[in-house]
Amino acid sequence: MMAYKSSNFKSTDPITPACKKKIYNTREEAEDMIRYIRETRVVKALHAYQCPTCGLWHLTSKSKD
């Protein structure tokens, strides 16, 4: 019979997203947040965009040009 040997489990760092900006899973989620922000604060024009790095959605105040 083999004796049980405990592993020396070391905790790992959580997965760090590629982007530091707040992420939204869908365009709809991002646009819902834009509507909420516009209703609750005075802000510049906001736009949702799909990030070329992570593929998820972020908000920006930069123009869509």
Taking the C-alpha atoms of residue 24 and residue 33, their distance in angstroms, rounded to an integer, is: 9
pLDDT band of residue 65 (cuts 50, 70, 90) is low
Q: Domain ranges in the chain?
A: 27-60
Q: What is the pLDDT of residues 1-53, one digit of tens each?
A: 556 555 565 555 666 667 888 999 999 999 999 999 999 998 889 999 999 99
Length of the chain: 65
Closest CA to 63 of 43, 50, 39, 46: 46
Asked if 27 and 61 touch (Cβ cutoff 8 Å), the reply is no
Give the model's pLDDT for residue 62.
84
Which residue is it, tokens 């019979």?
1
Q: 3-state SS of the chain: helix, strand, coil percent to 5? A: 20, 15, 65
